[in-house]
Amino acid sequence: MDLNNVSLTGRLVRDPEISYLNNNMVVMKGSLAVNGYKKDEVNYIDITVWGKAAESCNSYVHKGSRIAVEGSIKQERWTDQQSGQNRSKITINCSRVVFLDPVQTQGYPQNYQPQQQNNQPQQNQNNQQNNQNKPVINSDPWQDNNDNIPF
């Protein structure tokens, strides 16, 4: 059995391009810069994200954001109308997107600290404040979590 499965980690080359299909399905198109095997080699891979994942990308990522994607390879083919030559390009049809950069609380400055209730001990309040400023985007095993490393 042949598999068509790919996982990539890279940075968005431009801001997400969001569009809506006739059936109100949301689609996001973008390009991912992925390091190659050589030191100065960079590969640019076109990606397509669908549905709620596309809406999340529109809200939380921008040019330069680090993301991980999982999906399948799709080869698009067409004939160039000017030259008559057959053309093709490979895109990744993403089934999963993980945001690897921390997300700033929308509408608030980066150092924003929400007010806490006064009936909690001071140490507990500080821990809660630090956790509230780190929104959870996706509880995915791809995310950097050094607590689960056994060494």
CATH number, domain with residue 26: 2.40.50.140
Q: Are residues 91 and 119 in the same domain?
A: no
pTM of the predicted protein model: 0.64
pLDDT for residue 78 is more than 60: yes
Residues 89 and 113 in one domain: no
Q: Which domain holds residue 47?
A: 1-101
Query: Which residues lie closer than 8 Å to 116 by C-beta, 6 or more apart?
Result: 125, 128, 129
DSSP 3-state assignment of 140?
Answer: coil
In order of 12, 31, 45, 59, 137, the CA distances from 51 in angstroms are 19, 18, 20, 13, 16
Of 128 and 34, the structure prediction assigns the larger pLDDT to 34
Half-sphere exposure of 146 (CA within 13 A, CB side): 1
Do 70 and 135 lie in a common domain? Answer: no
Region 10-17 average pLDDT: 92
Please tell me the least confidently modeled range out of 4-8, 100-104, 146-150. 146-150
For residue 4, is it within any domain?
A: yes
- Does any domain span residue 148? no
Q: What is the CA radius of gyration of the chain?
A: 20
What is the per-residue pLDDT for 103?
A: 62
**Residues 60, 3 share a domain:** yes
In this prediction, residues 128-144 reach a mean pLDDT of 42
Same domain, 4 and 71: yes
How far out from the chain centre does Cα 7 lie?
12
Q: What is the mean pLDDT of the chain?
A: 76
Per residue in 21-45, pLDDT tens? 888 889 999 999 999 888 889 999 9
